[in-house]
Structure 1
């Protein structure tokens, strides 16, 4: 089950930094898409990040496994945690704003609760979790809008693509727990990105042709940020924060990413979100708070103390 220990000030600072970094990835995608198609945007991201992380693995002297079973697990993890979700988000961002994509991406935590309950015997679907899941999916429905679901267009398809990415992330979390538990986190990240590179580079060549050098100066900066900071660096920071704050507290990142992405999109791209996006995000946030349970427990404890 998710651990829910208290968060030290340093862990809060690094958790916030991680949210800021991943919030910037949505802006970077939007910038790169002006110069590249979605397939090469993802392929270059995972290729460069994989090279950086393998350099880190070599520098730390981490032993590299040789079993085919482990590399097969890396390949599937790369498909579920990188190739599918990165592609769906990047394709979706051709049709929706970066801020809206980041809000829908927060549904990952809701899917994660459902997948864990289906796959693991120690992850029971409690009443609180059921209420939280219901609130979360209600928020996603409000964000997309019932009219968009009735009349499918590119904008609604983009939103559904990001929800598909959230589901893929949740499946990746379950897969990692079942197959990669014995691997060093940094090695697992390098192996996963290698798997996604083996998938994405041929796919990009097939669908979009040979890659070219960036033609816009801002593309260089956005691509460097996306691969080096928001992927390779973020994975290293992720496992550091995981050790300090615990897996339960890392769920907060899915909420914290969205405000940063919305702010960056508004400043850099002049994006304006519809009011329903904020209302849906509020429902989604409420759902994750209910799933987490700590706020509700504190309220119950305070109520009991007041009665005494």
Structure 2
């Protein structure tokens, strides 16, 4: 038992957890400007759903293969899927985390405003923290977490103020975004459960390969005559695969060793880091909204991870 605790201690160290969680959020945030530039380079229309599914399928499948290459060198015997049950779990996780989540996300975003999409997506963080209260005995809600969630949601609302918010609802738009949220939340708890018997690196690798493979099969129904692959687009596609490989693997490790209700709060940084990186790479204007949003989310993260006096962790 003592040995097991020592192994876990590195990824339970508060400073390490914060550093890795912020790093993952920045990586995922960088996907926003990277994909925008990739679509532009490839002359992809904004409503080309199959084109986006194709890019996502290539990105995630390649990401999974990169992790498997790394695992083959460093883990060897642990690389094997040992039982049919494990394969079934990996396939199910790939379908939920990658195939369904991103299908509903891309379709929903295409049929709603970007701001509404970002706000609805952020609800997954809120739901993971709430549901963790009922699923795990050591991940209960307290006043700090409730205030932290509110600051996180406030940050997402601020960064999207005045950018197309309205009360319109369509099933293939906002409805699909809510389904994407549901699959994302479900995947978080699946990873937490499956990582008790399977290594997080292999969970990440196989779900990306299997989920990305399903997306590539779906992409066969598209027409890509107008698309062009430039050297820049190819390089950015490789980068997006690398960021997915690194971010998913690190996040799965964090989920294995930490409380989902605490580390999930860091995902509120994703849309803000995406906005900040868009300022750098797409020359978009840095607004007061982005700065205030970042401050609100930082306050939320501090509150969620702050120990309540008298409460045992």
Would you say the 8 A contact 1:19–1:257 is kept in 2? Answer: yes
Would you say the 8 A contact 2:195–2:256 is kept in 1? Answer: no
Match of 2:168 among 142, 151, 158: 151
- Quote the offset at 1:244 in angstroms: 9.7
Is 1:54 matched with 2:71? no
Distance 1:281 1:163 in 2: 24
Alignment of 1:167-246 (within 5 A): 167-206=182-221, 208-209=222-223, 214-227=228-241, 229-238=242-251
- Quote the offset at 1:223 in angstroms: 0.4
| Alignment partner, residue 54 of structure 2 | 40
Secondary structure of residue in 2 paired with 1:150: coil
| Alignment partner, residue 7 of structure 1 | 15
Would you say the 8 A contact 2:121–2:178 is kept in 1? Answer: yes
Match of 1:116 among 117, 121, 132: 132
- Name the TM-score, length of structure 1 as normaliser: 0.72
Is 1:27 matched with 2:33? yes
Over 3 Å counting, the alpha-carbon distance change for 1:45 and 1:212 in structure 2 is: farther
Would you say the 8 A contact 2:108–2:177 is kept in 1? Answer: yes
Deviation by residue 1:88-137 (Cα, 9 ceiling, x = unmatched): 4545665766x997777555432211222243344333343344444544
Unaligned runs of 5+ in 1: 298-308
Would you say the 8 A contact 2:272–2:290 is kept in 1? Answer: no
Would you say the 8 A contact 1:6–1:245 is kept in 2? Answer: no
Match of 1:86 among 93, 102, 110: 102
Would you say the 8 A contact 1:143–1:276 is kept in 2? Answer: yes
Distance 1:248 1:20 in 2: 19
Alignment of 1:213-292 (within 5 A): 214-227=228-241, 229-238=242-251, 250-251=263-264, 253-272=266-285, 283-292=296-305
Report which stretch shifted further, 184-193 or 245-254: 245-254
- Name the TM-score, length of structure 2 as normaliser: 0.71
Would you say the 8 A contact 1:102–1:257 is kept in 2? Answer: no
Unaligned runs of 5+ in 2: 1-10, 45-50
Would you say the 8 A contact 1:22–1:257 is kept in 2? Answer: yes
Aligned CA RMSD, in angstroms, stands at 4.2
Match of 1:67 among 83, 86, 89: 83
Over 3 Å counting, the alpha-carbon distance change for 1:242 and 1:126 in structure 2 is: closer
